[in-house]
Structure 1
Amino acid sequence: MSDPTLTDAHPISSSKTTLLVGLVLSVVAFQLNATMLNPAVEHMQDELSATTAQIAFTTAMFFLSKAVFQVFMPRLSDMVGRRRILLISLGILTIGTVIAMVAPTVGWLYLGRAIQGACGPVFTIALLTLREATTTEKEYGTKLGVIIAINGGIAGVDVVLGGWMADHWGFRSILAFTLVATILAFVAAFRWIPESAPSRGERMDWPGVALITVVVVGLTWAVGGDPFGHRFPSVWSIGYILVAALCGVAFIAHQRRTANPLISSDQLGNRAIWAMPLTTILTLTGIMAVVNLLVPSFTQNPTAGWGMSATTTSLLFMAPYALVGWLIGPFAGRLAPRYGYKRMLQAGLLSSLAVLVALVLFGMGNAVAFGVLVFLLGITYAGVTNVMLNGLGILLSPAKATGLLPGLNGASFGIGAGLSFTILGQAITSGSAVGSTSTAGYVSALWIAIGIVAAAWAVTLLLPKPQVAKED
């Protein structure tokens, strides 16, 4: 952002406590739908007669939808109001949850999860609202860390509860629970979050939104596969790449001509506009499915893994990961203004890379080592890297369009997560098919993740440094 300090900001709510609670509940509602089903991978496979790759693709659809709506909803909230868009998003989440809960086939689950994903902008809108309501960098960094850590997992309770519910009542019970949480979040947002529209009166560039949406979907389907079973490499994937490239060129040309561009011409060459989303895409592609797909799939695999229950997996591996991230996040956010968001991001990526290498070399044959390394990944990624990715997306955004870069960066989280589940899911299925005793698929997925995270670190070298006030 152009303004490096928050000392001149005017809080938009008379009660910071109720505002924060309302924002947290909104983020929790989305996050429960994103994470509680993760320990139920095997249950969804059994109840819907699906493969690991098919279940992974339902999550990929969830994050692809999140990416598409992230492109424009935060910017739209600049114009029509944060609260209004937040309430619309929570309403969409409610509809998607009902469809997913009653889904008779994996195809219906695809639809429900895709509709749920459209609620993804609630997280970015929460961060933007928090930024506008906070008066100091230290306070902002701390609260930023709290919300982002929650977005990475509800202190591990979500995955433990999800695993327990899946073991006792199946995956549909999880969706019933998240439906109640979503309704509560809607009520809290309606009562406690005030309206704020810093760009009220401006017009949305809908043709630009359409073009960039085609780019997002085309690239995602080209690399990760489409809903119709076409995988890379294929004629279809080449076609998607060509369509995405053409729409990308058309988007840039349109932005230079239109009176209300989504990205103004003077920002098209801004390194932050493209390097920040690229960093996020690569980071999420490399790490997201490691914890949320590979860990539960491997530990519950009765032949290639350890044959644990969903509850045991959640309690021993996923909950500690989420809990330590939840604890570390606020401290990382508080330290970032002093040591630098970019520097801490690079440190988080390097340490996450080291953990992934150790996991593939030492963790696959030893449950204790596996658990310790997943726990460390909760520190390096969930507690540090994830906080810095989100923080930089807010801080580097142009002052005249505060929702622009957070929207693009938020979309990048969805793209990266979707690619992660699709790419790593296919690697697991190909090398460790159902009934196989081989861990080759899991090992291949980890090496792929390592290469992608290394590329993410390299891209951070191109990021500009945000101008924030250092506070003692």
Structure 2
Amino acid sequence: MISSPANAPAPQDAPQDAAVELPGARRPRAAILITTLLLGVLSFQLNASMVTPALPQIGAHFGADAGAVAQVQSMFFLAGAISGPIMGRWSDFIGRRRALLLVLGVMALGTVLCLAAPSLTLLVIGRFLQGVSSAIFALAYIVLRENLDARAFGTSVGIIAAVNGGVAGFDGYAGGLMTEAFGFQSIFLVVLGLAAIAAVCIIRIVPGGRAANTGGGSMDWWGAAFLSVFLVCLSYFVSTGSSAGWTSVPALALLAGTVAAFIAFCAAEKRRSSPLIAVHHLRSRQVWTVIATTVLTLAGIFAIMNFTVVLLSQDGKNGFGLGASLSALLFLTPAALIGVFAAPLAGWLTGRVGWIRTLRIGTALSLACAVAAAFFADNQWAVLAAVAALGIFYNGFFLTSINGLSVLLSPKEAPGSLPGINGASFGTGASLGVVLVAPFAGLGTQGGYAVALWISVGITAAALLVSLLVPAPDADAAA
């Protein structure tokens, strides 16, 4: 499908907030644009998934324990949570293409540092720089919205969302093979090469110019700084509270920092003519409901798929007694593989039944899968079926619709704000869900696993209730 030229009259279902482009510029063909953005998204995703099986070798290489090596991943995802809101909003002023190239450039710098790192400390710094590329997801969704018509946008969001959990589960396996054969550095070489190819394609394919409706303002760096402090304090509060206790001195200090940073952020936003996101927008249904739905759904479903079921499947006494590799093959790979096909289907469906209905179908049926897993927690094949079905309804329907809605419901004067903040909400929700169920699943008893699963059910039910409050975007009228 080819979208209309930028200087031609817009069709009825064309996006209304297209980027400002040079006279005579034409939008790229949909397939070429999607492929280009997929290359950028994969450069981040492979950084996240292929490194996981290499963590033991990284620890042995630097003589570090598991706690120290954990920072290789935690700092990567923390940087992603910070960069999403900042780069999404900054791209409103510097243009989507420049923002994409900037995050790829920072990632490339971090990758080179990881390749040459003589110590674990420098490797962790490199991983932090690599994590900035998480903003590519939000930027990709915005670019698609500004350059494709309504129906093509839905399908394209599904295609991008399909790799949100990895390349059908095989990227982690490939990372393990490369680590064994060539060492963990080989993973960074692959990522660096892919980022270079993505950058060349972005330069040639992604339109330049900046977003419309910014009113000639400038980037709100004070708001960005306070929001970053808030996200850092919140992240460390969750991790510290779960390990040292919620009433421990470090946890309370981080909680105080979290609250203070949020108050400072709100105060700064009220004074800015072009804020990161206006406070009145944070209070509006079109913003807070999207963020809350994301946080709650991730807290409920992520904890089931990536924590409780993993422990349950490998527990030889009160679980299914599977090995690590067989557990991953049965309980992680099917959902990821199914999601690769379900996400584009969900994107296509949004053009027929609407974004809101697709979101509620995905959330409601994800809740049904969670209930089934909790009811039949002692039955390996029932849990397997429930988790595999989440590949359709969570990886496919929910992730596609919530990412699309974050773009469609973002404030007109700040089109990059909600996608970025919503992207940061994924990590927050995932961390919160694991923290809430860990004390029970960690008991290693049948009762403990059951309680952990029912806690996730309750959180997902809350997500469904909040999703009922998400307003319908204008695109649903056409559907």
Question: Residues of 2 paired with 1:166 and 1:363: CA distance?
Answer: 35
CA shift in 2, pair 1:353/1:289, >3 Å: same
RMSD: 3.5
Distance 1:359 1:446 in 2: 7
Q: Does 1:240 align with 2:254?
A: yes
Alpha-carbon separation, structure 1, partners of 2:140 and 2:208 = 12
Distance in 2 (alpha carbons) for counterparts of 1:445 and 1:287: 11
- Distance in 1 (CA, whole Å) between partners of 2:114 and 2:458 is 34
Q: Which residue of 2 aligns with 1:452?
A: 459
Tell me the residue number matched to 1:380: 393
2: distance between equivalents of 1:86 and 1:338?
Answer: 31
Matched, 1:6 2:20: no
Q: 5 Å matches for 1:306-455? A: 306-310=321-325, 312-363=326-377, 366=380, 368-420=381-433, 430-432=442-444, 445-455=452-462
Comparing 156-165 and 142-151, the one that deviates more: 156-165
Distance in 2 (CA, whole Å) between partners of 1:305 and 1:98 is 42
Whole-Å Cα distance in 1 between the matches of residues 271 and 301 of structure 2? 39
User: Would you say 1:24 and 2:24 are equivalent positions?
Assistant: no
Q: Contact (CA 8 Å) 1:5, 1:469: kept in 2 or not?
A: no
Distance 2:143 2:343 in 1: 19
Residue 418 to residue 101, structure 1, CA distance change in 2 (3 Å): farther
Give the alignment of 1:276-315 within 5 angstroms. Answer: 276-293=290-307, 299=313, 306-310=321-325, 312-315=326-329
> Which blocks of at least 5 consecutive residues in structure 1 are unaligned?
433-437
**Correspondence for 1:189:** 202
- Contact preservation (8 Å) 1:9, 1:134: no
Structure 2 CA distance for partners of 1:395 and 1:14, relative to 1, 3 Å:
closer
| CA displacement at 1:13 relative to structure 2 | 2.7
Amino acid at match of 2:140: A
Q: How far did residue 75 of structure 1 move?
A: 0.8
1:16-415 superposed matches below 5 A? 16-38=30-52, 50-51=65-66, 58-100=72-114, 110-135=124-149, 137-165=150-178, 173-199=186-212, 201-225=216-240, 230=244, 232-264=246-278, 266-293=280-307, 299=313, 306-310=321-325, 312-363=326-377, 366=380, 368-415=381-428
Equivalenced residue count is 459
Q: Distance in 2 between matches of 1:278 and 1:390?
A: 13
Shift of 1:45: 7.3
C-alpha displacement at 1:371, in angstroms? Answer: 3.0
Structure 1 residues 220-274: Cα deviation after superposition (integer angstroms, max 9, x where no partner):
22223389x7553422222222222223223222222223322235534322222
Q: Which moved more, 1:29-38 or 1:105-114?
A: 105-114
Q: Per the alignment, do residues 293 and 30 of structure 1 end up closer, same or farther by CA in structure 2, a change over 3 Å counting?
A: farther
Q: Deviations over 1:275-334 (max 9, x none)?
A: 211221222223335434555566567776635353x44543333211211101112112
| 2-structure distance, mates of 1:56, 1:420 | 19
Contact 1:65 1:414 in 2 (8 A): no
Query: Where does residue 7 of structure 2 map in the other structure?
Result: none
In the alignment, which of 444, 458, 471 is matched to residue 464 of structure 1? Answer: 471
Deviations along 1:175-219, one digit per CA (max 9) or x if unpaired, are 443333333323322333232311574201111111222222222
Supply the distance in 2 between the matched residues of 1:82 and 1:209 (Cα, whole angstroms). 18
CA distance in 2, matches of 1:418, 1:12: 42
SS of equivalent to 1:202: coil
| Paired letter, 1:317 | F
Alpha carbons of structure 1 residues 471 and 181: separation in structure 2 relative to 1, 3 Å: same
In 2, are the aligned partners of 1:282 and 1:455 still within 8 Å (CA)?
Answer: yes
CA deviations 1:336-391 (Å, max 9, x no partner) are 2432322322222222222223334435552x444322211111110111111101
Q: Is the 8 A contact 1:57 1:421 kept in 2?
A: no
Greater RCO (Cα-Cα under 8 Å, separation 6 or more) = 1
| Residues in 1 aligned to 2:116 and 2:450: alpha-carbon distance in whole angstroms | 35
Consecutive unaligned residues of structure 2, counting only runs of 5 or more, are 1-10, 19-24
Which residue identity lines up with residue 375 of structure 1 in the other structure?
A
TM-score (norm: length of structure 1):
0.84
- Within 2, Cα distance between the matches of 1:420 and 1:160? 26
AA paired with 1:253? Answer: A
Query: Which region of structure 1 is more displaced relative to structure 2, 297-306 or 197-206?
Result: 297-306
Structure 1 distance, partners of 2:64, 2:197, is 33
Give the structure-2-normalised TM-score. Answer: 0.83
Between the aligned partners of 1:27 and 1:356, the Cα distance in structure 2 is 29
Return the offset for 1:456.
Answer: 2.0
What's the offset of the Cα at 1:78?
0.9
Question: How far apart, CA to CA, are the structure 1 residues paired with 2:378 and 2:188?
Answer: 31
Query: 1:28 & 1:314 partners in 2: Cα distance?
Result: 21
Higher mean C-alpha displacement, 298-307 vs 400-409:
298-307
Give the aligned residue type for 1:161: A
Distance between the aligned counterparts of 2:112 and 2:455, measured in 1? Answer: 35
- Give distance in 1, aligned partners of 2:426 and 2:15: 30
In 1, Cα distance between the equivalents of 2:108 and 2:29?
Answer: 27
Q: Give yes or no for contact 1:56–1:421 (8 Å, CA) kept in 2.
A: no
1:431 match: secondary structure: coil
Contact 2:377 2:450 (C-alpha < 8 Å) held by counterparts: no
User: How far did 1:452 drift?
Assistant: 2.6
* 1:193 partner letter: V
Q: Quote the offset at 1:140 in angstroms.
A: 1.1
Q: Give percent identity, aligned residues only.
A: 36
CA change 1:12–1:318 in 2 (3 A) is farther
C-alpha distance in 1 between matches for 2:308 and 2:117: 24
